[in-house]
Structure 1
Amino acid sequence: MTFQVTVTPSGRQFSCDADETILSAALRAGVGLPYGCKNGACGSCKGKMIAGQVEHGGHQQKALSESEEAQGMSLFCCAKPQSDITIEVREIQGSDEFPLKKMPSRIAKMEKLSEDVMLIALQLPANERLQYRAGQYIEFMLKDGKRRSYSMANAPHIDAQITLHVRHMPGGLFTDQVFSSMKERDILRFEGPQGSFFLREDSEKPIILLASGTGFAPIKALMEHLTDLKSSRPVTLYWGGRRPQDLYMDALCQEWAANLANFSYVPVVSGAQPEDQWTGRSGFVHQAVMADHADLSGYQVYACGAPVVVDSAKRDFVALCKLPQDEFYADSFTSEADLQSA
């Protein structure tokens, strides 16, 4: 059975089969709903049900709580229609600009950026490039049918290759291979571009970039895109890690700060040891933002990294720093463990 989905306030409509999620049907129809993990863990695709009924699959309570569901909210990545429905959600302009492709790629380069972060550069087939927006991600299609998602760490104009920053998760199906048996010239298949995390270019508001760990990868792509645009918007990057070595491209950020007129960089370390001789900012990275910006009402925030960092930042920036909720853009790096708990 097929049902009709109407999106407000845009008025766009698309069909959705009873056995597919609203998000899947929207992407198939080229309707730009916001989304991130697509697995009920991050909450990026949450919106309001105006009319009709849906049935939700497994998801995390932090992505959609029982009280939110009772108030008519829905998580479109795991909601299947039971009738014709009307939903209220802010569509993302430009998210359907580039086609979703399945492509083979060859590993052109592997380089350790730190003890547990590997740079992987992917060479695409000759005469073929992946069109994407800085900040989006790809999904590797593994042999057993499982998938793993990684953000592109370079803006599309930088290189014909795609670079990724992969953190080793001990016991991880994919990352154990990256740090043991994977080698240059291996073939990897992926699907992309995916995600609605990219720069909103119709604004002149100053920007806060917030990264934790390898959440720096899409933030780096955003910075390269802003530089290519010759943007005059003030940008401040806050990058947090447990130890100084977690800020594995600190030198690049310092270079940006020295050479870009409207750019500032604030590295933050939460668990420095005496041998680190750390003299910079300490504590949680989102709290460093709050200490410097008590009023975020005139800002846009782009946040990437661990779910606890992204969730805490959104909650506190909106509740305590007056950030408009619709000016917080995020890519929460949900691990397989996060998805399994959904």
Structure 2
Amino acid sequence: MTFQVSLTQSGRQFSCEADETVLNAALRQGIGLPYGCKNGACGSCKGKLNNGQVEHGPHQQRALSEAEAAEGFTLLCCAKPVSDIAVDVREIAASSDYPIKKLPTRVHKLEKLSDDVMLVSLQLPATEKFAYRAGQYIEFLLRDNKRRSYSMANASHNGEHVTLHIRHMPGGLFTDQVFSTMKERDILRFEGPHGSFFLREDSDKPIILLASGTGFAPIKALMEQLIHLKSERQVVLYWGGRRPSDLYMSALCEEWAASLPNFRYVPVISDAQAEDQWQGRTGFVHQAVMADIADMSGYQVYACGAPVVVESAKRDFSAQCQLPADEFYADSFTSEADLAAG
């Protein structure tokens, strides 16, 4: 059975089969909706159901609480319609220039950035163009229909390779392979680009970049895009980690700060030890932002990393710093352990 989905903000309509999610139906038909994890964990695809009914698949309470569901909110990545529906959700400009593809790739380079972070460089196929927006992610296609998602750490204009920053999760299906048996010239398959985390180029607002851990990867891609555009927007990057070694490319950020007149870098460490001899900012990274920028009403924020950091920033920036809700863009890094805990 086929149902009709109406987007109340734009007036657009599209069809959705009874056995597919609203998000998948939209993507299949080239309609841009906000999303991140696609598995009910991050809440990026949340919308308000104004008419009709849906059935929700498994999802995390932090992404959609019972109270929100009772108010009519829905997660489009795990909602299947049982009638025609009307949804209030912000539509994103979709572009045929960034089609989702399944492609083979060869491992070009492996480089340890820290004890538990590996840079994986992938050679893109020479016979087929792969275009993406800085900030988006790819999904590796593994055995038994399993997938693992990683943000691209370079902007698409930077050559024939895609780079990823992969943190080792001991016992992880894919990351154990990355840190043990994977070698250069190995063949992998991926699908992408995915996600609605990318630079909004139609604004001249100053930008706050907020990263925790390997959430720096897509933030780095955004910075490369800004540099490529010769953007004159004011940008400040706050990068948080437990120990200084977690800021595995801090030297690059320092180079940006020294060479770019409109860029500022603030590293923040939450659990420095005596042997670290850390002299910089300490505490939670999103609170460091709030201490420096009490009024965010004129800013855009791009936040990436651990779910607790992204969720805390979204809540507190809006409630305490007057950040407009529609100027907070995020990519919450949800691991398999996060999904199991939910």
Normalised TM-score (structure 2): 0.99
* Partner residue in 1 for 2:88: 88
How many angstroms apart in 2 are the aligned matches of 1:2 and 1:94?
Answer: 23
Alignment CA distance shift 1:127-1:97 (3 Å): closer
Deviations 1:219-262 (A, max 9, x none): 00000000000101000000000000100000000000000010
The answer on 1:37 being equivalent to 2:43 is no
* Partner residue in 1 for 2:126: 126
How many angstroms apart in 2 are the aligned matches of 1:44 and 1:66?
Answer: 17
* Partner residue in 2 for 1:48: 48
SS class of match (1:90): coil
SS class of match (1:110): strand
* Partner residue in 2 for 1:68: 68
- Residue 340 of structure 1 and its aligned partner are, at CA, apart by 2.5
SS class of match (1:106): strand
SS class of match (1:231): coil
* Partner residue in 2 for 1:322: 322
* Partner residue in 2 for 1:275: 275
- Residue 99 of structure 1 and its aligned partner are, at CA, apart by 0.6
The answer on 1:24 being equivalent to 2:24 is yes
Could you tell me whether the CA contact under 8 Å between 1:2 and 1:15 is conserved in 2? Answer: yes
How many angstroms apart in 1 are the aligned matches of 2:199 and 2:271?
Answer: 31
Could you tell me whether the CA contact under 8 Å between 2:31 and 2:94 is conserved in 1? Answer: no
SS class of match (2:113): strand
SS class of match (1:301): strand
* Partner residue in 2 for 1:171: 171
Could you tell me whether the CA contact under 8 Å between 1:134 and 1:198 is conserved in 2? Answer: yes
Question: After the TM superposition, which residues 1-342 of structure 1 pair with which residues of structure 2 at under 5 Å, given as runs?
Answer: 1-94=1-94, 97-342=97-342
Could you tell me whether the CA contact under 8 Å between 1:31 and 1:96 is conserved in 2? Answer: no
Could you tell me whether the CA contact under 8 Å between 2:207 and 2:234 is conserved in 1? Answer: yes
The amino acid that maps onto 1:30 is: G
- Residue 125 of structure 1 and its aligned partner are, at CA, apart by 1.9
Deviations 1:302-333 (A, max 9, x none): 00000000000000000000000110000000
How many angstroms apart in 2 are the aligned matches of 1:216 and 1:316?
Answer: 21
How many angstroms apart in 1 are the aligned matches of 2:284 and 2:54?
Answer: 38
- Residue 195 of structure 1 and its aligned partner are, at CA, apart by 0.2
Computed over aligned residues only, the root mean square deviation of the Cα atoms, in angstroms, reads: 0.9
SS class of match (2:111): strand
How many angstroms apart in 2 are the aligned matches of 1:23 and 1:96?
Answer: 17
Deviations 1:253-289 (A, max 9, x none): 0000000010000000001100000000000000000
The amino acid that maps onto 2:244 is: P
Could you tell me whether the CA contact under 8 Å between 2:97 and 2:131 is conserved in 1? Answer: no
The amino acid that maps onto 2:31 is: V
SS class of match (2:107): strand
Could you tell me whether the CA contact under 8 Å between 1:129 and 1:160 is conserved in 2? Answer: no
Give unpaired runs (5+ residues) of structure 2.
none
The amino acid that maps onto 1:70 is: A
- Residue 339 of structure 1 and its aligned partner are, at CA, apart by 2.0
Could you tell me whether the CA contact under 8 Å between 1:303 and 1:310 is conserved in 2? Answer: yes
How many angstroms apart in 1 are the aligned matches of 2:213 and 2:256?
Answer: 18
Alignment CA distance shift 1:88-1:97 (3 Å): farther
- Residue 95 of structure 1 and its aligned partner are, at CA, apart by 5.7
- Residue 144 of structure 1 and its aligned partner are, at CA, apart by 2.1
Normalised TM-score (structure 1): 0.99
The amino acid that maps onto 2:225 is: H
- Residue 145 of structure 1 and its aligned partner are, at CA, apart by 1.2
% identity of equivalent residues:
76
- Residue 96 of structure 1 and its aligned partner are, at CA, apart by 5.6
How many angstroms apart in 1 are the aligned matches of 2:75 and 2:210?
Answer: 25
How many angstroms apart in 2 are the aligned matches of 1:58 and 1:145?
Answer: 18
SS class of match (2:119): strand
The amino acid that maps onto 1:82 is: V
Number of equivalenced pairs = 342
SS class of match (1:176): helix
How many angstroms apart in 1 are the aligned matches of 2:222 and 2:116?
Answer: 23
How many angstroms apart in 1 are the aligned matches of 2:259 and 2:236?
Answer: 14
SS class of match (2:184): coil
